[in-house]
Amino acid sequence: MPKATPSHDGTPQAWDRPAEPPAPPLIPLAPAESTTDTGLPASTADTVRRLRGAHRAAVRRTVVVAVALAVVLLGLLAASLLLGGLRGMTVADVLPAAFGLRTGLADYVMHGIRFPRALTALLSGALFGLSGALYQRLIRNPLATPDIVGISAGAGAGAVTVLLYAPAFAFGVEAAAVGGAFAMVGLVLALSRRGGRVDTYRLVLIGIGMAAVCTAYVNYLLTAAGEQSLAQVMRWLIGSVSGATWDGVTKLAVGLGVCVIVALPLTRALGAMSLGDQLASGLGTRVPAARVGALLLGAAAAALATSVTGPIGFVSLVAGPIAVRLVGADRAVPLAVPVGAAIVLGADVAAQHAPLVSPVPTGVLTALFGAPYFVWLILRRRPGASS
């Protein structure tokens, strides 16, 4: 091969220079993403539309379920008021008496017995459902409800103490029930902490143990009670709405109204806390205050219902999961109120009129159907799961 001949200025000729590497192939640029009238990219706008559609569908489903529950409650309320009969009352007397168009026996039966009983069942069930849904949403464990972790047992222990030794004390039963529930909340939380945080599995087990302690305390009190007091307290401990009065209805109605008002902002806070405490704090949620508020509100709701009807078991355990299946976890807390009301009112109607069952206290039927559900939750729990 001939050598490169330098030009007169000393640079090699073009045919003598080494070949340049080939240029890389041109990669076509992606076309610019189109935008919508709002200025958002098309993909983002499509995602927003889907989220809005899902939200509207969830709202429609919630409205439909709420209307259906309202119809169910009205049907159960009518059944509780109109079913059954007494000697001296005819069918033609029952319905007019419900609207205050009769006097005498029919008026007394409707407004002195049936209306207070039905409303007590409805309002107490709503309080039990609210308390259970708050605890399940906060602790993220379907077993962590007031009647399982000992809150209702603590309320019952306080109420029985006053029933036996200070029955004439004004609002003594209610105050003792709420005080016992709050004391049990503090004790169970203190004993279930491990490594600076609450272990939900330990909370459930410790709560069951503390409930047994409260039951033993109540049994000890009953050994010293007279026969008349013993019969009254034993029926109350099973959980019953028989013997309901308008005074109890007023207490439950006022308590439910206050609890629902306080629960509305707590529900939003619990929704943010389900994403994690750090993210919830970043979104402006006061996590410690919301946690303490939900615990105390759930305990107060369960204690107030317990002070009037006794510990009607497993309502708070079942109402929340039913509400979750109906409308999802985000809207389960408010919907647990009518679900709990329907459970207790339906159980009371069955306790009064169901063949082969009636008459029994309402708590017997709720326990009969709630206990198998509790066992099912235990069996389906995955080993090593913390919630």
Q: Give pLDDT tens digits for 10-23.
A: 555 544 555 566 65
Is 226 or 270 the better-scoring residue by pLDDT?
A: 270
| pLDDT band at 278; cut points 50, 70, 90 | confident
Q: Is the model more confident about 169 or about 335?
A: 335
220-256: pLDDT as tens digits: 888 877 666 677 777 778 888 888 889 999 999 999 9
Beta bridge partners of 35: 41
Round the average pLDDT of the chain to a whole number and report it: 81
CB 180 within 8 A of CB 211: no
Amino acid at 123: L
Q: Is the dihedral of CA 265, 266, 271, 275 positive or negative?
A: positive
Share of the chain above pLDDT 70, in %: 81
Tell whether the model's pLDDT for residue 383 goes beyond 60. no
Q: Give the up-direction half-sphere exposure of residue 107: CA atoms within 13 A in the CB hemisphere.
A: 5
What is the mean predicted confidence (pLDDT) over 343-364? Answer: 87
Q: Could you tell me the pTM of the whole model? A: 0.81
pLDDT of 3 reads: 52
Q: In this structure, what token pair is assigned to residue 265?
A: 């902002």
Q: Is the pLDDT of residue 300 over 90?
A: yes
Q: Between 224 and 362, where is the model more confident? A: 362
Structure confidence at residue 375 as a pLDDT band (50, 70, 90): confident
- Residues 6 or more apart whose CB falls under 8 angstroms from that of 314 comprise 147, 366, 367, 369, 370, 371, 373, 374
Give the closest residue to 214 by CA, choosing from 190, 189, 183.
183
pLDDT at residue 128 greater than cutoff 60? yes
The share of the chain scoring above pLDDT 90, in percent, equals 28
Which of 148-157, 194-203, 340-349, 370-379 shows the highest mean pLDDT? 340-349
159 φ/ψ angles, rounded to the nearest 5 degrees? -70, -40
pLDDT surpasses 80 at 47: no
For residues 266 and 130, what is the distance between their CA atoms, to the nearest angstrom?
12
The arithmetic mean of pLDDT across residues 40-44, rounded, is: 62
Report H helices in the chain: 42-82, 91-98, 105-108, 115-139, 151-165, 172-191, 200-223, 227-238, 246-273, 277-282, 287-309, 315-327, 332-353, 362-380
What is the distance between the alpha carbons of residues 39 and 29, in angstroms, rounded to a whole number? 22
* More confident of the two residues 204 and 299: 299
